[in-house]
Amino acid sequence: DAMVIQNPRYQVTQFGKPVTLSCSQTLNHNVMYWYQQKSSQAPKLLFHYYDKDFNNEADTPDNFQSRRPNTSFCFLDIRSPGLGDAAMYLCATSREGRGRTEAFFGQGTRLTVV
């Protein structure tokens, strides 16, 4: 009955080699978020979609891009991963934007850069 599904759970990529992480939802929520979480730190918001409208956080590096082809799917593209991009990447959805309702998280994708 998973509602927010992230694939893969673990991803190993080479330094500088583009990588894509995927997220799908069965909740039909308007909003999808991508967070980056490094070890023992808080999740850090990278960007979010409200429907098709893309909203980038001011301090998100250009190396990170996102696509949302339809309501159910959202992708995180890292164009040239560096060692500092190794982290857990969390996808979340919510019914309303601006944090006004609870968020539902996937299990995360742990990215290793070698």
Which residues in this chain contact other proteins in the complex, by CB under 8 A? 4, 6, 33, 35, 40-45, 48, 55, 57, 59, 88, 90, 92, 94, 97-108, 110
List the structure tokens of 41.
Answer: 């730190």
Which residue lies nearer to other proteins by CB, 55 or 80?
Answer: 55
Class of residue 44 by CB neighbours under 10 A (exposed 0-12, middle 13-18, buried 19+):
middle
Nearest residue (CB) to other proteins, 58 versus 79: 58
Choice between 3 and 80, CB closer to other proteins: 3
d(CA 4, CA 25): 4
94 and 31 Cβ atoms separated by less than 8 Å:
yes
Give counts: helices (H), strands (E), the chain: 0, 11
Smallest distance, Å, CB 103 to other proteins?
Answer: 6
Please report how close the Cβ of residue 16 comes to other proteins at its closest, in angstroms: 26
**What backbone torsions phi and psi does residue 107 show, to the nearest 5 degrees?**
-80, -10
What is the smallest separation between the CB atom of 40 and other proteins, expressed in angstroms?
8
| Smallest separation (angstroms) from other proteins to the CB of 63 | 18
Q: Which is nearer to other proteins, 70 or 98 (CB)?
A: 98
